[in-house]
Amino acid sequence: MYMSCGYLNLPETPFSDQSVPLLVCCCGNYRLSGDDRANVQRPTGRPDYQLLYVAKGKAEFVIGGTVHQLTAGHMVLFRPGQPQHYRYHGGDHTQTYWVHFTGSQVEETLAASGFSPDDCIFFAGSDPALCRTFDSMIYELQTRRANYQALSELCLRQLFLLSRRTAPLPAAVTPALHEQMEAARRFFAQEYNTPINIRDYAAGQNVSISWFLRCFKQVTGQTPMQYILSIRMTNAITLMRDTDWNLTQIAAAVGYDNPLYFSRLFHKHNGMSPSAYRKLLAEQPRD
């Protein structure tokens, strides 16, 4: 088993603190393999809140007497005093993150981030940003550098917002399908300025092009080419605003060898030509 944890106080003792709005008590990461097992049973819960995230593999939670087999991308929120019973097995290659927190304004903060009083199990998606945010909290608690408590609190608030950013999945979209399409979206976002052949990508994933196109739009609301075009145009606008590059340079930077073709796409997407857009930018007052 691999584990990395950070604590506000050592030895770690569960506590509730209502003297501050929001406080991170501890945060950690577990990775299990082989015959590793973890079985947590807290019949009376804890005095603080706990948010768990299944980053990889799967985990079993017993909530209200019902067994839930949760796969990667799911989160569980335990409130103070709520019984906790969950277990992991190394054979499932499970990786989980967890954070305990307390404070006088926890419920208000959760509500402002999109949580309802009844939220316990929900799907947050397999977003690397979630893992990075957990890792940042662990780092702050472990290193205890200047302002670590305030930075941990900011990370926790960010985690709340990120975890509720994923819209509820349509009935036909499973968590596994969602992650598959999210992986495709991340690939397109990273490679947007290179020649991307959607058919070749689908073949590389061992799926048909028609199935991939249908599922990508179902999950993201856009076709792959609409998504790639949106990223290219957004970055082209940034280059027009922040550089003095000519049209040929900007077109090449966002993935087009032909500046005339790029200009036509830009006009169709933004309602004006690149030159007209640059003129508009030049006429705007600058601070």
Domain finish residue from 163, 188, 207: 163
Q: How many CB atoms lie within 10 A of CB 240?
A: 19
In this prediction, residues 248-270 reach a mean pLDDT of 94
Reported as a pLDDT band with limits 50, 70 and 90, residue 109 is very high
In a shared domain, residues 110 and 201: no
- What does the block give as tokens for 207? 């799926």
CA–CA distance, 162 with 142 (Å, rounded to integer): 23
In a shared domain, residues 195 and 279: yes
Reported as a pLDDT band with limits 50, 70 and 90, residue 138 is very high
In a shared domain, residues 38 and 152: yes
Q: What is the CATH classification number for the domain harbouring 274?
A: 1.10.10.60
Domain finish residue from 163, 192, 210: 163
For residue 7, CA distances in Å to 4, 12, 45, 154, 160 come to 10, 7, 19, 16, 20
Q: What is the CATH classification number for the domain harbouring 130?
A: 2.60.120.280
Q: Is the peptide bond before 11 cis (omega within 30 degrees of 0)?
A: yes
In a shared domain, residues 181 and 138: no
Q: How many domains does the chain have?
A: 2
Q: Would the pLDDT of 285 be above 80?
A: no
Reported as a pLDDT band with limits 50, 70 and 90, residue 286 is low
pLDDT at 108: 96
Domain finish residue from 118, 133, 163: 163
CA–CA distance, 181 with 224 (Å, rounded to integer): 10
Q: How many CB atoms lie within 10 A of CB 152?
A: 26
In this prediction, residues 84-91 reach a mean pLDDT of 92
- Give per-residue pLDDT as tens, 231-245: 999 999 999 988 999
CA angle 65, 67, 73 (to 5 degrees): 130
pTM of the model as a whole: 0.68
Beta pairing, strands 74-78 & 84-89: unpaired
In a shared domain, residues 190 and 250: yes
In a shared domain, residues 157 and 183: no
**Can you give the residue range of the structural domain that contains 189?**
169-287
- Give per-residue pLDDT as tens, 152-163: 999 999 999 999
CA–CA distance, 225 with 186 (Å, rounded to integer): 14
